[in-house]
Structure 1
Amino acid sequence: MSTSNGLVELAVPRDRNGSFEPAIVPKRARRLGNIDEVILSLHSRGMTTRDIESHLYEVYGVNASRELISNVTEVVADEIALWQTRPLDEVYPILLRRRHPPADQGQGRGDHEGRHLAVGVDVEGRKHALGLWIADSEAAKF
């Protein structure tokens, strides 16, 4: 089994009725959920499938195939598509726009992208993220 601590060999007991249910690791599981979380975290930071594959091997000793990594990240892509096509309320009494300046200001890093987040507050007072836009720079045209 692949875990965040490397490969773990499991010996699963068998019973005549096949009624044994493991408490920690589900039957026929090949990896624990923690590996999925690591893959998603690395993917969200912009790492390629090949980079994630080599990182998992170097750090955790896990041989994760590119197909496995793609399958894990596809789930998030589907959820993002659903979020982007969700219906919005007709009215948001309060609309907030938050600009995040480039991360390199005073830190010497080469990140020059500008990030903008639009948040709407509905009639009941709940906040909703309406959109997130990322541009290569903070130019006025954006």
Structure 2
Amino acid sequence: MKKALSERILNAELDEHLEGRPHRRQRQPPQRPFEEVGFDGQVEHDAVDLADRAGTFDPKLIAKYQRRFLDFEVSRYARGMTVREIRGHLEELYGIDVSPDLISAVTDAVLEEVGEWQNRPLDAIYPLVFFDAIRVKIRDEGFVHNKVVYIALGILPDGTKEILGIWIEQTEGAKFWLRVMNELKSRDVADVLIAVVDGLKGFPEAINAVFPQTWSEPASCI
């Protein structure tokens, strides 16, 4: 996903650069090694260099020959900060001066990629899924609100961990968890063998309403 986001950012910046220009885009081989550093550590992969035929494209958000790329702030704050705030944030922290139009274009591209990830098909069976929610402060339309982030973490048969989904709501409740279960089912999940949950009243019942054979286990027992 991080690779896809970085390529979306580069493409959006190139589109903005080429607007009103006769130059056509081209992919510029070879691919360059690329290290992305986020809260979960370093991830090294190849990011595609993009160029216009006139050779005038000089990306700012992911600069040429840049090997370390911190989590992109526009993607992180896109839903909570104004374009003006994002622009000032990028200039203050990274010394990057970009146009409001570019920020809007990149934000739209990033959110589209995130939306595709949120709705991607899932595996049919998960041996183990951790369901949890945490309370966080989130900036929304210029104001900071307390919200609940719902997380479903699946464990595959080979032990691989996969985030099945992340949802944000005002409060935690079994009714919303029921909505989460229905969404997972609509994304091709047929069964969850063991669900690890907290002590929220009605939570196991919400799970079994969609996955009747699932065994719910309190997190303290794992």
TM-score with structure 2 setting the length: 0.41
Residue in 2 aligned with 1:93? 127
Give the 3 Å change call, closer, same or farther, for CA 132–37 of structure 1 in structure 2: closer
Residue in 1 aligned with 2:110? 76
Whether contact under 8 Å (2:133, 2:172) holds in the other structure is: no
Deviation per residue, 1:35-70 (Å, 9 max, x gap): 9934334436x2121211244456666542211101
Whether contact under 8 Å (2:132, 2:150) holds in the other structure is: yes
Instruction: Please identify which structure carries the higher strand content.
Output: 2
What number of residue pairs does the alignment pair up?
Answer: 112
1: CA distance, partners of 2:154 / 2:162: 5
Deviation per residue, 1:72-109 (Å, 9 max, x gap): 22231122122123211100010111221345xxxxxx
Gaps of 5+ in 2: 1-50, 64-68, 138-143, 177-222
1:113 maps onto 2:147 in alignment: yes
Residue in 2 aligned with 1:40? 75
1:99 maps to a residue whose letter is A
- CA-atom RMSD, angstroms? 3.3
Residue in 1 aligned with 2:60? 31
1: CA distance, partners of 2:112 / 2:129: 27
2: CA distance, partners of 1:60 / 1:120: 35
Structure whose CA Rg is larger: 1
1:87 maps to a residue whose letter is P
Cα deviation for residue 120 of structure 1 reads 1.2
2: CA distance, partners of 1:88 / 1:60: 37
Whether contact under 8 Å (2:75, 2:111) holds in the other structure is: no
Residue in 1 aligned with 2:170? 136
Q: State the identity %.
A: 36
Whether contact under 8 Å (2:61, 2:96) holds in the other structure is: no
2: CA distance, partners of 1:88 / 1:98: 19
Deviation per residue, 1:97-138 (Å, 9 max, x gap): 1221345xxxxxx64211210111112211111111211233
SS class of match (1:94): strand
Instruction: Please identify which structure carries the higher helix content.
Output: 2
2: CA distance, partners of 1:102 / 1:58: 25
2:78 maps to a residue whose letter is H
